Structure 1
Amino acid sequence: MGELKKREEIDNKFKWNVDKVFKNIEEWEKDFQVLKSEAVTLKDYSGKLTNGEKILEYLKLNEKISRKAEKLYIYAHLKSDEDTSNATYQGLMSKIDIYMAELASYTAFFVPEILNLEEEFIKKEIERIDELKEYKFSFEDILKEKPHILSKDMEELLAAASDCLDAPSAIHNILTNADMTFGKINDEDGNEIELTEGNYSEFIRSKNREVRKAAFEKLFGEYSKLKNTLATSLSCSIKSFNFSSKVRKYNSALEASLKPNNIPLDVYKNAIKVMNNNLSSLHRYVSIKKKLLGLDEIHMYDLYVPVIEVQKEKVEFNDGVKVVLDALKPLGEEYLNIFESGINDGWIDIYENKGKRGGAYSWGGYDTMPYVLLNYNNQLEDVSTLAHEMGHSIHSYYSRKEQPYHYAGYTLFCAEVASTTNESLLIHYLIDKETDERKKLHLINQELEQIRTTVFRQLMFAEFELYTHETLEKGIPLTAEDYNKVWHDLNVKYFGEEIIIDKEIDVEWSRIPHFYSDFYVYQYATGYAAASAFAKSILEGKENAVEKYKGFLKAGGSDYPINILKNAGVDMTTDEPIEATLRRFNELLDMIDR
């Protein structure tokens, strides 16, 4: 690899074109001053939203200001992510971040004032004024939450307390990422390496069993030492969410999480039920893994190691693009053209440079291109990441092109569907075209692992969350020992009798940051299931499958996520999407178990 290049040493053709948003900082600063002078006028509408004309006037002004703010925000963050050590762009980001909080306070009156109006009056105004008709769903969405919106004083009080109520998450984040250390272990070459949360995932996949065992015992040993603190932190986070749910007059924390997006509670509970009815498939996978790894006994630290080792191939970026385009051919010419134009028009920041933010994401705004941050390292995993992030970007491209500004964003429930559909089409393509038996088995195992970690594992997490919230809702306290026992029992149930559930895994619940974002993780499983359903119907060439899928991409946030998916042919209120994913899992097991 040699020395990591500085930002300015990277050729422009490998960088995203952020200058399309603003040519330079001077232009950004000029727009920022305009925004500040214009945005204050939003406050003038407080107390004056008494007729349709005034409401429409406010909505139009708010859109104009929001779009300007969005561009400023995106530019500052993208430039900062290019080189996090660049003080100029850090300052720019800080400036807009602070201002965005101020801007939010200018519009805080809107929802309470709309809710103070009679529902019948709002309906009549929408009927009377043509331009208000396109906001119909937005108003229905606000009115639906009326029973859960508090008085102005109470809302202000809760908003003021929000930072305190988020304290458990902040504490968990600092404790696990900054304060905790995990000591040193020997790597595969016998070198002493410091174990971190960052490199743990490499060690747990090591083909040397002693290395992965040492990493596993060391990491969870440290979590175990702090189990009482971490249990208290998690309990406080759950109690805080339960408190907010109760104050807002929801029947349960689960309802508080799902109802705003009109997701039936049964979608959550049925997903867990379907999983419980099909755990024999996961038990079979564990058994096959044990056999293929040639182990006398299989432990929790053996779960992540690939069953087939293959030599890593280098895949240059342009070759990776060709692979993805080939894999996505079933989506049709239009989709491929958008993909290619994204590559050629500067959507993507491809390679790592000194100070560049790690990982990968897709982002952008209504008046910008979609932007993709990669740290492409010529591995097959990077090709998959490219497919994934471009899935997000083309979803955003379609929804912004087809929807007005206020419906262009999509919910988290839908967010992972487009990216995972692309990944699903890619892995199908790679498996089908591979002729080398070992490489084929490696790819099959890769897809099995995707389903194990994204569907089985996340629904195990969801089951744990439901239990902990409901227990604390009943006023029953939970200690570290209680959490450990529930987690241990879930692992026994999910992974079966073939595996040894090592005592260290009992404390794994304390490591999962997603438990501080209540009822979040199940959406990984539902998103994967929806994506699998789309990929299957597209690959089987079902009638209108591609058009229906593109209908989903174009819908943005113009309806509730369940309805958007149902209109595109995927009904998440039924067991079918998750059952179809499990059928694919069994199909892959048959391929690998010969």
Structure 2
Amino acid sequence: MTQHITNKLPKRQEIDAQYTWKLEDIYANNAEWENDFSKIKALIPEIAQYKDKLGDSALKLLEALKLSDQLSSLTEKIFVYARMRRDEDNTNPVYQALTDRAKSLSVQVSGALSFIIPEMISIPEKQLELFLDNEPNLKVYRHYINEITRQKKHVLSQNEEELLAASGEISGTAKDIFTMLNNADIKFPMIKNDKGEEVELTKGNFIHYMESSDRRVREDAFHALYSSYIKQKNTLAASLNGNVKKNIFYSTVRKYPSALEASLDSDNVSVSVYDNLIDTIHDHLHLLHRYVALRKNVLQVDQLHMYDLYTPLVKEMNKHVFYKDALDITLKALQPLGEDYINALKMGYDHRWIDVYENEGKTGGAYSWGAYTTHPYVLLNYQGTLNDVFTLAHEMGHALHSYYTNKYQPYIYSQYKIFVAEVASTVNESLLMQYLLSNTDNADEKAYLINHYLDEFRGTVFRQVMFAEFEKIIHQKSESGEALTPQLLCEVYRQLNIKYFGDNIVIDTDIDMEWSRIPHFYNSFYVYKYATGFSAATSLSRQILEEGQPAVDRYLQFLSSGDSDYPIEILKKAGVDLSTSQPIVDALKVFEEMLNEMEKLIINPIDKVL
């Protein structure tokens, strides 16, 4: 096979079937899809007969919840099939149409089911308890019902809820303004690339130039990007301020003490988890300072600048890894997860769960997805780099998380929370890293792998925690009545950069504006989950390697839990208690070990770096 090395992208039909996913496992043909589409249309009116009757009896409530699950699961199945068919080739009009129809039907189903939660909230809790006690088949919904009643105190009257729902479109205005400014209106200057050619800087190519081995290119790209944001600082500050005000408004009307608590409550996560994460990182910032000092030493510069943080310390490895070799490497690397996990992994490899190579019109990037009633799938655009091997391991981590959850949980608990979503994928990456490091004697290869890990840790833990702290500070300032002016936002962000990166780097004035270009700040109090997930995965992989079977058993139980309990509790059973700082400390120990090893490997920078 040569799909992955030819210069011209093949058409979809030119890809060997063994390297494509088998979506026939969802629907053998489009006619079967049409049958389920019609079935959903027929089921929609049936759910309406339960409106205003959920409190009549335990049996009525059970019937409504089961029908809701049936409708939701079937709708998920037709949407997943249509969308993944479209992802094979986005120019295919047949699957463009099927995807649009599936989207419209999903909206109809959501509307038909929208009465259930408000009506359940109106049922007295004692009555719900009696229903659970008297109807054995309702017991599977206990956690679901408990979660609805837990948040009951933050639910308003029907009229107030209708008013808040009507404000939903307006509430997204700040994010919409930022999105349009950041993606459509803002323009960046021309810069000269490493060949001296005039090129237009874009958000898409910015990181490419920041990774350049030519320091002049990095500096030019850095200043060019931020000069454009500085010109829009008042508008960008106003849009971020608007988003913060929105968060405070909703948290206040729903009777939460703060916007932070309102956000964390959806996962039943205590503010102490958020604060522990920040405090623990503060206690270990000396490690990030050491990393910065190492970077300064390796790059051999008198002064390290913020635009020097992304250029690789070790040359890219050009070794091509054929796909079949990638399968073999990952199978060996994930052996510590035990026979059951490996058998499931082989099933995915052997039964065409994966769409491997790029073709004309195929969706870019990589993801794992699927429907509850079928096995999961993985989309790749495999090119044969070492990063692609990590991507394979990562996405199969997601896939097997879904596989085990769907195998052991009812539909109602099949959608695990974002809080735990990146754990399984990162455990696989961590085990792959350990395997590769332990199976090479090549100093350059080791340095490359460790550099990969250190940069990922810096970006996923230190950087995201700094973002999380920024969000906390600006919300607190706004809640106490301070105005979020451009000057205040820049000063808060500057002080955080000084604290996090230390004395071995020049905190360029331009970086004060970085807050203005981070889209995650419009999905507030989200980024901390990257750091907790990475830390949990690091701790779990270490336990698996050190303890063996007991840790594997706990981990497989975690993969099988879905959304059947609160994410903090599910992780506790796996051996990671994020209500304490220990998992964060454990992850930081691994970072320190890798840092120690990197410092030993790069003795003579001239031989090792760009």
Specify if TM > 0.5: yes
Structure 2 SS opposite 1:185: strand
Give me the whole-angstrom Cα distance separating, in 2, the residues matched to 1:405 and 1:243.
34
Aligned to 1:587: 593
Q: Within 5 Å, which residues of 2 pair with 1:479-518?
A: 479-518=485-524
Give me the whole-angstrom Cα distance separating, in 2, the residues matched to 1:70 and 1:587.
44
Counterpart of 2:302 (choices 293, 296, 301) is 296
Give me the whole-angstrom Cα distance separating, in 2, the residues matched to 1:82 and 1:180.
32
Q: Does 1:15 align with 2:20?
A: yes
**What 5-or-longer segments of structure 2 have no aligned partner?**
1-5, 601-610
Partner letter of residue 244 of structure 2?
I
Q: Within 5 Å, which residues of 2 pair with 1:145-294?
A: 145-294=151-300
Give me the whole-angstrom Cα distance separating, in 2, the residues matched to 1:196 and 1:320.
33
C-alpha contact (below 8 Å) 1:17/1:347 kept by paired residues: yes
C-alpha contact (below 8 Å) 1:81/1:356 kept by paired residues: yes
C-alpha contact (below 8 Å) 2:218/2:307 kept by paired residues: yes
Give me the whole-angstrom Cα distance separating, in 1, the residues matched to 2:156 and 2:426.
38
Give me the whole-angstrom Cα distance separating, in 2, the residues matched to 1:351 and 1:181.
34
Partner letter of residue 25 of structure 1?
N
C-alpha contact (below 8 Å) 1:417/1:527 kept by paired residues: yes
Q: CA offsets, 1:343-363, max 9 Å, x none?
A: 221211111122221111111
Aligned to 2:326: 320
Give me the whole-angstrom Cα distance separating, in 1, the residues matched to 2:123 and 2:153.
14
Counterpart of 2:525 (choices 515, 519, 528) is 519
Q: CA deviation at 1:310?
A: 4.0
C-alpha contact (below 8 Å) 2:77/2:371 kept by paired residues: yes
Counterpart of 1:63 (choices 58, 66, 69) is 69
Counterpart of 2:52 (choices 25, 44, 47) is 47
Q: CA deviation at 1:174?
A: 2.5
Structure 1 SS opposite 2:560: helix
Q: CA deviation at 1:152?
A: 2.1
Q: Within 5 Å, which residues of 2 pair with 1:87-486?
A: 87-486=93-492
Give me the whole-angstrom Cα distance separating, in 2, the residues matched to 1:139 and 1:123.
9
Partner letter of residue 566 of structure 2?
Y
Structure 1 SS opposite 2:191: strand
Give me the whole-angstrom Cα distance separating, in 2, the residues matched to 1:24 and 1:176.
42
Q: CA deviation at 1:266?
A: 0.2
Q: CA deviation at 1:148?
A: 0.8
Structure 2 SS opposite 1:45: coil
Structure 2 SS opposite 1:499: coil
Structure 2 SS opposite 1:544: helix
Task: Return closer, same or farther for 1:372/1:52 CA change in 2, 3 Å cut-off.
Answer: same
Q: Does 1:35 align with 2:40?
A: yes
Partner letter of residue 18 of structure 1?
L
Deviates more, 1:175-184 or 1:144-153: 175-184
Q: CA deviation at 1:270?
A: 0.8
C-alpha contact (below 8 Å) 1:454/1:525 kept by paired residues: yes
Q: CA offsets, 1:325-346, max 9 Å, x none?
A: 1111111121111111112212
Deviates more, 1:51-60 or 1:215-224: 215-224
Task: Return closer, same or farther for 1:437/1:465 CA change in 2, 3 Å cut-off.
Answer: same
Structure 1 SS opposite 2:114: coil
Q: CA deviation at 1:133?
A: 1.0
C-alpha contact (below 8 Å) 1:391/1:418 kept by paired residues: yes
Task: Return closer, same or farther for 1:557/1:380 CA change in 2, 3 Å cut-off.
Answer: same
Q: CA offsets, 1:45-69, max 9 Å, x none?
A: 1101121010011111111111111
Q: CA offsets, 1:128-168, max 9 Å, x none?
A: 11101111111111100100112222222222221221122
Q: CA deviation at 1:180?
A: 2.3
Aligned to 2:606: none
Give me the whole-angstrom Cα distance separating, in 2, the residues matched to 1:475 and 1:105.
39
Structure 2 SS opposite 1:362: strand
Q: CA deviation at 1:589?
A: 1.5
Q: CA deviation at 1:539?
A: 1.2
Aligned length: 594
Give me the whole-angstrom Cα distance separating, in 1, the residues matched to 2:507 and 2:270.
34
C-alpha contact (below 8 Å) 2:336/2:548 kept by paired residues: no
Q: CA deviation at 1:9?
A: 2.1
C-alpha contact (below 8 Å) 1:270/1:575 kept by paired residues: yes
Aligned to 2:603: none
Give me the whole-angstrom Cα distance separating, in 1, the residues matched to 2:86 and 2:173.
27
Partner letter of residue 265 of structure 2?
K
Give me the whole-angstrom Cα distance separating, in 1, the residues matched to 2:82 and 2:191.
40
Partner letter of residue 150 of structure 1?
L
Give me the whole-angstrom Cα distance separating, in 2, the residues matched to 1:179 and 1:356.
28
Q: CA offsets, 1:437-496, max 9 Å, x none?
A: 122112111111111111100000000000111111223210112111111111111000
Q: CA deviation at 1:592?
A: 1.5
Give me the whole-angstrom Cα distance separating, in 1, the residues matched to 2:183 and 2:87.
20
Q: Percent identity?
A: 45
Aligned to 1:72: 78
Task: Return closer, same or farther for 1:178/1:318 CA change in 2, 3 Å cut-off.
Answer: farther
C-alpha contact (below 8 Å) 1:338/1:394 kept by paired residues: yes
Q: CA offsets, 1:231-279, max 9 Å, x none?
A: 1111111111211111111111111111122111100011001111111
C-alpha contact (below 8 Å) 2:247/2:259 kept by paired residues: yes
Partner letter of residue 293 of structure 1?
L
Q: CA deviation at 1:301?
A: 0.8
Q: Does 1:557 align with 2:563?
A: yes
Structure 2 SS opposite 1:414: helix
C-alpha contact (below 8 Å) 1:310/1:439 kept by paired residues: no
C-alpha contact (below 8 Å) 2:267/2:567 kept by paired residues: yes
C-alpha contact (below 8 Å) 2:175/2:243 kept by paired residues: yes
C-alpha contact (below 8 Å) 1:366/1:405 kept by paired residues: yes
Deviates more, 1:210-219 or 1:284-293: 210-219
Partner letter of residue 37 of structure 1?
A
Partner letter of residue 24 of structure 1?
N
Deviates more, 1:407-416 or 1:425-434: 425-434
C-alpha contact (below 8 Å) 2:356/2:382 kept by paired residues: yes
Task: Return closer, same or farther for 1:214/1:469 CA change in 2, 3 Å cut-off.
Answer: same
Structure 2 SS opposite 1:555: coil
Q: CA deviation at 1:543?
A: 5.5
Give me the whole-angstrom Cα distance separating, in 2, the residues matched to 1:102 and 1:474.
42
Deviates more, 1:45-54 or 1:1-10: 1-10
Aligned to 2:607: none
Give me the whole-angstrom Cα distance separating, in 1, the residues matched to 2:474 and 2:93.
43
Q: What TM-score does the superposition give when structure 1 sets the normalisation length?
A: 0.98
Q: CA deviation at 1:26?
A: 3.0
Deviates more, 1:335-344 or 1:487-496: 335-344
Deviates more, 1:389-398 or 1:88-97: 88-97
Give me the whole-angstrom Cα distance separating, in 2, the residues matched to 1:310 and 1:58.
57
Q: What TM-score does the superposition give when structure 2 sets the normalisation length?
A: 0.95
Q: CA offsets, 1:22-57, max 9 Å, x none?
A: 233333223212211211211221101121010011
Partner letter of residue 50 of structure 2?
Y
Q: CA offsets, 1:376-416, max 9 Å, x none?
A: 11111111111111000000000000111111221011101
**What 5-or-longer segments of structure 1 have no aligned partner?**
none
